[in-house]
Amino acid sequence: MTADIVTKHVANGDRPLPALAGDPATARRVLLTMWTIRLFEEAVDQLFARGLMHGTMHLSIGQEAVATGACLALGPSDYITSTHRGHGHCIAKGAVPDRMMAELLAKRTGYCRGRGGSMHIADVATGNLGANGIVAGGVPIAAGAGLAVQLRGGDEVALSFFGDGAVNEGAWHEGVNLAAIWSLPVVFVCENNHYGMSMPVGRASKTPLAERAAGYGIPAVTVDGNNVQEVFAAVTVAVSRARSGAGPSFVEATTYRWKGHSKSDKNLYRTREEIEDWRERDPIVRFEKAAEAARTLTTAEIEQCRAQARESVRSAVQTASAAPDADPAELAEAVYAT
């Protein structure tokens, strides 16, 4: 049976978590982060369509609440491991949009000097240990980071983002098992967007994904991944548990990607009606309504957040486009020891 860590948190008499939409400064921060992720990815989509960006890319438009809520529960020194769909994670953990855009445009000023691109972006300074082109590849890396923290007696937490398709990979099971038996300070966050490429999650898994955690003796909870408050609450409890030495937890956030798996996806496996139904559950609009209802943000202040995010992304595109290209002659630097 799936253990509900949020229910346990309340039952233990802990102080209730504050409503994100109830504080003006926090509400602005949450909204600005989600709009920055959304507009950054829309810009990336346009750049690819115009032939100005190469390789491939995977967008998380529609999933902004998961990255934002989860990273808001972390401290500056905590770690994350990301996925091939990781722009939102990177931004939510504190990355600067212009260096991110430079990385995707293969510029020397990018976080990985233009070598990583969309699928392998990292920002170690903010604790982002890297996106990963291998499904479930970040899970054992998070377990390794958690082990390092434990061995040196630190109090940092490692949070691993992964998709629903990752839970059937061997690396996922190995990483979760090691974290469980060694009580490592790791939080496993599943962004269940209902499709592993074109495979519906119901055809790939017989049971609800969060129930997988029971096999490893760790608590789990399923939350509405389009509700940033629910994500924040669940991850906050899981982070607290990990930081206290009690070991890992599993948080399944159900959400949906509006775009295809990658830029070449023609979306032939799902209907327009399904996509439109999820678009009506837009996590950003949902939070805007909550902030307005709480009277913490006015309509004008909400528009200011959108405008600030829009200007940040526009500036990132301009700055990155003008930056020098990555030099192929430097490709082997920082790869092999000398």
Q: Give the pLDDT band of residue 263 (cuts 50, 70, 90).
A: confident
Calculate the alpha carbon distances from 19 to 5, 9, 34, 58, 228 in Å. Answer: 18, 16, 17, 31, 10
Q: How many domains would you assign to the chain?
A: 1
| Residue ranges making up the domain that contains 28 | 5-322
Asked, for residue 135, whether it belongs to a domain, the answer is yes
Asked, for residue 329, whether it belongs to a domain, the answer is no
Residue 331 confidence (pLDDT): 80
Residue 165 confidence (pLDDT): 96
Asked, for residue 13, whether it belongs to a domain, the answer is yes
Instruction: Give the chain's mean pLDDT.
Output: 93
Residue 206 confidence (pLDDT): 92
Asked, for residue 328, whether it belongs to a domain, the answer is no
Would the pLDDT of 71 be above 90? yes
Would the pLDDT of 294 be above 50? yes
Asked, for residue 327, whether it belongs to a domain, the answer is no
Q: Give the pLDDT band of residue 336 (cuts 50, 70, 90).
A: low
Would the pLDDT of 259 be above 80? yes
Would the pLDDT of 2 be above 60? no
Residue 97 confidence (pLDDT): 97
Asked, for residue 330, whether it belongs to a domain, the answer is no
In tens, the pLDDT along 99-146 reads 999 999 999 999 999 999 999 999 999 999 999 999 999 999 999 999
Residue 330 confidence (pLDDT): 84
On whether the CB atoms of residues 227 and 290 are closer than 8 A, the answer is no
Please compute the mean of the pLDDT values over residues 19-43 and round it to a whole number. 96
Find the CATH number of the domain harbouring 199: 3.40.50.970
Asked, for residue 332, whether it belongs to a domain, the answer is no
Asked, for residue 100, whether it belongs to a domain, the answer is yes
Q: Which residues pair with 252 in a beta bridge?
A: 190, 222
* CA 97 – CA 86 distance, rounded (Å): 13
Would the pLDDT of 268 be above 80? yes
Please compute the mean of the pLDDT values over residues 28-43 and round it to a whole number. 98
Residue 215 confidence (pLDDT): 96
Would the pLDDT of 14 be above 70? no
Residue 180 confidence (pLDDT): 98
